[in-house]
Structure 1
Amino acid sequence: MSNTDMTQQSERVALQLRYQSPSEAHADHVQLIGQLNRSDVKLEATLQEPLIFRETMAALFAIVSSDYRYAPKDRQAYAAFMQMRRAHQNQGLAKAQRAYFDWLLKNDPLGFCILDPIISVYPNGVVFEVFSKDEGSYAMLSFDYKHFNLQGTPVYGTTNIDFSDSLAQGLEQMRSFKASTLSIGQTAVGLDTVSSTAQPDSTVLEKQVQVPNSWIRGFLQVQASAQLPTDKITLNPLDVYNLLHHLRMHADIKGKRRGLRLELIPGRYPSIILEPNDVVLDTQTEVYKGKQAKIIRLWGRRRLNLLKRILPFTETIEVGLLGNGMPSFWTMHGKGWHLTLAITGFTAANWSQALNFDLLLPRDLNHMEKVTPLLKVLEQQWVLSLEELVKQTGLNRAECRSALLQACQQGLVMYDVGANVYRYRPLTVEPLDMSHFQFRQPAEKLAYDLVHRQKALSQWQTLLLPGEGVEIAATITVKEDKRDYLAKLKLNEEGQVVKAECSCHQIMQHGLTQGPCSHLIALRIAYALRQAERNVATISQETRAFSRRKASQVEQIQLTLNEQRVFFTHEQAAKIRRQQMAFNSVNAARHAYLDKIQQLEASGFIDSTLG
Structure 2
Amino acid sequence: MEEFELLQKPTLGTTNIDFSAKLAKEIERFRTYNEVKLSVNPEGFTVDTGIIPEHMEKKIDLPETWIKGFNQVSSAASLGGIDIELSPIDIYDICSFLRRHKAQKSPRYMKWILEPKRQVKIVFEPFGSELTLKAIYDGEKIREEKIWGRRRWLVLEKIIPLAKSFKVRLLGFGMPQFITADLGTMKMTIGFSAWSSNDWVKGTAFNILGGFIGNGNYDKVYKLMKEKRCLSMESIYDNLKEDSKTTSKAGIGMLLKRGEGYFDATHDTVRFRRLCNEPIPKELYETTEMEFKVQEHINEGMDNFRAMVNESNEFMFKHSFKMPNSKYKNWKFRDTEDYNREHDLTETQLIIDEDGQISKVKCKCREFNKGPRNISAPCAHILALYLISTKFTRLKLEKDKEYKINDIMETIL
Q: TM-score, normalised by structure 2?
A: 0.67
Find the partner of 2:148 among 291, 299, 304: 299
Is 1:327 aligned to residue 180 of structure 2?
no
Is 1:217 aligned to residue 68 of structure 2?
yes
Whichever residue aligns with residue 367 of structure 1, its letter is G
Assess if the C-alpha contact under 8 Å between 2:116 and 2:141 holds in 1: yes
**Deviation digits for residues 79-117 of structure 1 (CA, Å, limit 9, x no counterpart):** xxxxxxxxxxxxxxxxxxxxxxxxxxxxxxxxxxxxxxx
Assess if the C-alpha contact under 8 Å between 1:261 and 1:274 holds in 2: yes
The alignment yields a C-alpha RMSD, in angstroms, of 4.7
**Deviation digits for residues 399-433 of structure 1 (CA, Å, limit 9, x no counterpart):** 66554344223322212222343321122233345
**Deviation digits for residues 341-368 of structure 1 (CA, Å, limit 9, x no counterpart):** 1112244455799786565222522222
Q: How far apart are 1:243 and its partner, in Å?
A: 0.9
> Aligned ranges for residues 377-416 of structure 1 at < 5 Å?
377-386=224-233, 389=236, 398=245, 403-416=251-264
1:271 partner SS: strand
Distance 1:397 1:501 in 2: 35
Q: How far apart are 1:236 and its partner, in Å?
A: 0.7
**Deviation digits for residues 239-279 of structure 1 (CA, Å, limit 9, x no counterpart):** 1111111111111132x221222222222232222222332
Q: Counterpart of 2:401?
A: 537
Structure having the higher strand fraction is 1
Find the partner of 1:336 among 171, 180, 185: 185
2:211 partner SS: coil
How many residues are matched?
A: 349
Assess if the C-alpha contact under 8 Å between 1:355 and 1:525 holds in 2: no
Distance 1:395 1:175, change over 3 A: farther
Q: Counterpart of 2:166?
A: 317
Q: How far apart are 1:220 and its partner, in Å?
A: 1.0
Distance 2:242 2:134 in 1: 41
**Deviation digits for residues 286-345 of structure 1 (CA, Å, limit 9, x no counterpart):** x32323322122222111111110011111111112211112111000121111111122
Distance 2:155 2:47 in 1: 34
Q: How far apart are 1:176 and its partner, in Å?
A: 1.9
Assess if the C-alpha contact under 8 Å between 2:15 and 2:41 holds in 1: no
Distance 2:207 2:173 in 1: 14
1:414 partner SS: strand
Is 1:242 aligned to residue 93 of structure 2?
yes
Q: How far apart are 1:161 and its partner, in Å?
A: 3.4
Is 1:282 aligned to residue 282 of structure 2?
no
Distance 2:137 2:277 in 1: 43
Distance 1:421 1:476, change over 3 A: closer
Find the partner of 2:38 among 162, 182, 188: 182
Whichever residue aligns with residue 173 of structure 1, its letter is R
Distance 2:297 2:21 in 1: 47
Is 1:476 aligned to residue 324 of structure 2?
yes
Distance 1:225 1:346 in 2: 15
Distance 1:447 1:522 in 2: 15
Q: How far apart are 1:281 and its partner, in Å?
A: 1.9
Q: How far apart are 1:153 and its partner, in Å?
A: 1.7
Q: How far apart are 1:224 and its partner, in Å?
A: 2.0
Distance 1:153 1:175, change over 3 A: same
Q: TM-score, normalised by structure 1?
A: 0.47
Distance 1:252 1:486, change over 3 A: farther
Distance 1:288 1:409 in 2: 35
> Aligned ranges for residues 185-264 of structure 1 at < 5 Å?
185-186=41-42, 195=53, 210-212=63-65, 215-254=66-105, 256-264=106-114
Whichever residue aligns with residue 169 of structure 2, its letter is G
Distance 1:180 1:274, change over 3 A: same
**Deviation digits for residues 366-408 of structure 1 (CA, Å, limit 9, x no counterpart):** 222xx33332233234334456656655568946655434422
Assess if the C-alpha contact under 8 Å between 1:247 and 1:302 holds in 2: yes
Assess if the C-alpha contact under 8 Å between 1:333 and 1:339 holds in 2: yes
Distance 1:149 1:376 in 2: 33
Find the partner of 1:164 among 20, 33, 52: 20
Whichever residue aligns with residue 245 of structure 1, its letter is S
Whichever residue aligns with residue 177 of structure 1, its letter is Y
Assess if the C-alpha contact under 8 Å between 1:415 and 1:423 holds in 2: yes
2:179 partner SS: strand
Distance 2:383 2:234 in 1: 33
Distance 2:191 2:164 in 1: 19
Assess if the C-alpha contact under 8 Å between 1:346 and 1:354 holds in 2: no
Q: How far apart are 1:178 and its partner, in Å?
A: 1.5
Distance 1:529 1:391 in 2: 26
2:134 partner SS: coil
Distance 1:209 1:331, change over 3 A: closer
1:148 partner SS: coil
> Aligned ranges for residues 77-96 of structure 1 at < 5 Å?
none
- Structure number, greater radius of gyration: 1
1:426 partner SS: coil
Assess if the C-alpha contact under 8 Å between 1:352 and 1:495 holds in 2: no
**Deviation digits for residues 573-603 of structure 1 (CA, Å, limit 9, x no counterpart):** xxxxxxxxxxxxxxxxxxxxxxxxxxxxxxx
Distance 2:167 2:378 in 1: 36
Identity over aligned residues, as a percent? 23
1:303 partner SS: helix
Assess if the C-alpha contact under 8 Å between 2:180 and 2:266 holds in 1: yes
Assess if the C-alpha contact under 8 Å between 2:71 and 2:259 holds in 1: yes
Q: Counterpart of 1:427?
A: 275
